Each structure stands twice: as C-alpha cells, then as structure tokens.
C-alpha cells in the first residue's frame, strides 16, 4: 500500500505533468518553463526557441505587479517576435484569463496595446505600470468581467534587451500579435477569435497590427480593431513645433519620437538636429520614463520651439514618420472604431479626423466616435460604453453561417 502522503505527492506530480501549460502547448513548440523571479525574468536565455515567432520562452504567475487585473488569473510571459531589424528578439507581456470555464470555441481574446510610457526598460508596464494608466485598467477589468481574455504586450525593447523602437509601426504590430500566439501556447483555452485594441501609442500599434495580422498571424481570426486617440500625422506635428511655441506639453514625446527613429535607423543622427538644451536631456530618453521626461527636470523645461535647431532639415524625420503613420495604411480588412476627445492636447482631434477620412478613402471600414471636451486620458472613460458595445458586437457576429456568441 502507498502511504496517504505518498499518494498525495504522486497525484500532485501527475497533475503537474498532465496539466502544466507547457504540456498543453502546441506540439510543434518547444515546452516552455517557469521563468526566474524579479527582473531576471526579462533576460532571455542565450538561445531563443527555434519555432515560429510568438513562441513562448517562459512564464510565471503575475500577482505582484501593479498592472495586474482583477477577476482572472494573471500570467507574465516572455515570448519571441520578429524585431525591428528582422532578427528574432524576446518581448515581455502578460495575460489575464477570466475565472470560470471557457466557452465553446475558447475564450475570446482582446490584445491590448498600451499608451506611451517611455523607452527605458523600467518603463515596461509589467515592471512599472504608471498611475496615469488607471483608466485602461478599469476598462480592461470590465472586459475581463464580461468574459474576455486579455493579453498585453510591453513592446519590443521595453524591459527586454535592446532599445524600444517607439512608434515604429511594424515592431509594435508584431509585439501585439505575437503575444496572442504565446498566450495561446501557454493556455489552449484561448480561442482564435481576436479583437485588437489600444490607446495613444497603443492606438497607433492597434491599427498597424490590424493591417499586418492576416499575413503575420494568419491563424488568428481578427474580428475588429478599437483605437482610442491613436497617434497619427506625427510628421505634420513635428513640422509645427515652431508654431506651437513655448509650450512644453509635447516636448518629452517629441524627444521619444526622435529617439525611436534613431533606434530603427542607426544612420539617423539626431544630435545634429537638437538644440543644446534638448541635447542635454536627450540621454534621459534611454534611462527615464515619460513622467520624468515631461517634468521640469527633463524635457518639461524645454519649449516645443526650442527642441530643434533653427533651420534644421526635418526631411529625414518626416519621411520616417510618414512611413510609420497609420494615416497612410491601405489595407485593414476588419472594421475599425476610433474614439477621440476634442480637448486632446497630445493627439489632436483634427489630425485624427483627417486620418479617418484618409482611411475611409482607401476603402477601410472605419467609424469615428468623437467626445466633446474630453482629454487624451479622459477618452478612455468617456468611450468605455461605446468601445464595449463595439467589442460585444464584434464577438457576437455571424461567422461561417453560424451565430457565434462572446460567452
């Protein structure tokens, strides 16, 4: 006879083997393991998985992070994506699976792209989620409570090796899509039906992910895209810095934009374009997060019309920003909802209006919901009901002749 304690130990061991996420993973992928504690989690092994992009490297419970969402099981993920230079890189993110049993067809998935936090490693939301992101936590908590699994990427280079290519569309898109692959490898209860959503930089990322999904992750059935105040028309905004005047409201973001271009293109020499005041704070972009960059200790002390030297040629900046501007996307095969506040001082409502008109002219199924008087952050709360109704409608739709409910 086996002693009671021994039987319990044997049963626990069998359960760990049979029901561990790696055991349930796609048989084509190498089994993932539990990752290390602390910041070591973000340091990938010297050899990354040989499988497809979106391969899970390792995972661990995520119950001690400020970004964790209530109402489900939070899990931190490290996974692969195609990086900005075409190589395979490790990217971090996390997933929230609702409590209870998955519906037929698996949990419907929302992949959420976060707004600007910075470029430095400590700015990854899973490491240091900013208080300014409270509105998106409320939004996502509500979606989890309705029965949607949520996955969130930190983006390439945020927390993980390499610099984050800020507002470089293809890099963001791959991060947003590959975290879904990694999450489904970890937990096969996640279905293939997906809605892409995001705010600010994340709205920019969501639109790019929508345009690339069919070719990059063809197994995913992306039903719709929701973009809150998506960054757009940046090439026009940079050219208006002199007209904007002595305001410092956008200075930190402009510094990140310049750094992002230099990360994507090593031949771009930003130092020749920056004034001495801006140049003195430029190293902050690699060590500090947006809150600090926007403060008087950094770019919050540099006026918009004192970032670039007088007469500086911005041809290279404008060309690269245009290449990464969602305004000029020509193919988004699924419906898109854009939500924009009229008092947004970060993403201007008139540029978003122009972007929507441009995408409509390209034949994209896009609608814009405008919120009078709402700010860049305020649009998340103001647009919650409309975005949620749109989300519900996307998952409650007729597909292949069958009515597919969201839960």
pLDDT in tens, 278-337: 999 999 999 999 999 999 999 999 998 888 888 777 788 888 899 999 999 999 999 999
Q: What is the CATH number of the domain that holds 101?
A: 3.40.50.1820
Please tell me whether residues 54 and 199 are part of one structural domain: yes
**Strands 56-61 and 72-82, bridge-based pairing:** antiparallel
Please list, in sequence order, all residues whose beta carbon lies within 8 angstroms of the beta carbon of residue 252, skipping any fewer than 6 positions away: 290, 293, 294, 298, 299, 300
Residues 177 and 241 in one domain: no
Residue 397 confidence (pLDDT): 58
Which residues span the domain enclosing 164? 21-233+327-404
Match 């590959």 to its residue by tokens.
Answer: 178
138 with 192, same domain?
A: yes
Whether 6 is covered by a domain: the verdict is no
Contacts of 229 (CB under 8 A, 6+ apart): 199, 200, 203, 339, 340, 341, 344, 346, 347, 352, 376, 379
Which residues are within 8 A (CB) of 168 and not within 5 positions of it... i.e. 6 or more apart? 84, 260, 261, 263, 264, 324
More confident residue, 247 or 155: 155
Number of domains in the chain: 2
Better pLDDT: 94 or 5: 94
Q: Do 335 and 313 have their domain in common? A: no
User: Which pLDDT tens digit goes with each residue over 156-204?
Assistant: 999 999 999 999 999 999 999 999 999 999 999 999 999 999 999 999 9
Query: CB–CB of 236/317 below 8 Å?
Result: no
Q: Residues 311, 380: one domain?
A: no
């Amino acid at each position: 006879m086996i002693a009671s304690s021994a039987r319990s130990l044997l049963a626990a061991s069998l359960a760990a083997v049979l029901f561990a996420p790696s055991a349930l993973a796609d048989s084509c992928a190498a089994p993932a393991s539990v990752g290390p504690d602390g910041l070591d989690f973000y340091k990938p092994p010297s050899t990354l998985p040989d499988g497809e992009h979106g391969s899970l490297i390792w995972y661990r419970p995520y119950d001690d992070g400020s970004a964790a969402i209530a109402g489900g099981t939070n899990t931190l993920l490290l996974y692969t994506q195609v990086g900005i230079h075409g190589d395979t890189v490790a990217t971090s993110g996390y997933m929230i699976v609702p409590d209870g049993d998955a519906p037929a067809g698996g949990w419907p998935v929302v992949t959420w792209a976060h707004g600007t936090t910075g470029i430095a490693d400590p700015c990854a939301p899973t490491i240091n989620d900013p208080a300014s992101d409270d509105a998106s936590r409320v939004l996502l908590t509500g979606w989890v409570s309705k029965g949607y699994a949520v996955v969130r990427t930190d983006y390439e280079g945020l927390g993980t090796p390499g610099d984050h290519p800020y507002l470089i569309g293809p890099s963001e898109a791959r991060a947003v899509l590959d975290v879904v692959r990694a999450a489904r490898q970890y937990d096969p209860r996640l279905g293939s039906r997906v809605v892409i959503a995001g705010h600010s930089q994340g709205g920019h990322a969501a639109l790019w992910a929508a345009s690339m999904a069919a070719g990059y992750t063809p197994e995913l059935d992306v039903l719709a895209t929701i973009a809150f105040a998506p960054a757009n028309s940046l090439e026009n905004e940079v050219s208006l810095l002199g007209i904007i005047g002595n305001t410092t409201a956008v200075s930190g973001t402009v510094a990140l934009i310049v750094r992002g271009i230099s990360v994507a293109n090593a031949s771009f020499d930003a130092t020749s374009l920056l004034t001495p005041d801006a140049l003195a704070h430029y190293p902050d972009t690699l060590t500090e997060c947006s809150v600090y960059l926007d403060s008087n200790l950094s770019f919050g002390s540099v006026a918009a019309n004192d970032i670039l030297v007088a007469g500086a040629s911005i041809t290279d900046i404008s060309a690269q920003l245009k290449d990464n501007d969602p305004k000029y996307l020509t193919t988004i095969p699924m419906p898109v909802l854009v939500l924009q506040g009229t008092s947004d001082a970060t993403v201007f409502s008139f540029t978003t209006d122009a972007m929507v008109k441009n995408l409509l002219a390209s034949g994209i199924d896009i609608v814009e919901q405008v919120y009078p008087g709402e700010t860049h952050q305020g649009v998340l709360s103001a647009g919650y009901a409309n975005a949620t109704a749109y989300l519900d409608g996307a998952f409650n739709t007729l597909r292949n002749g069958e009515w597919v409910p969201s839960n």
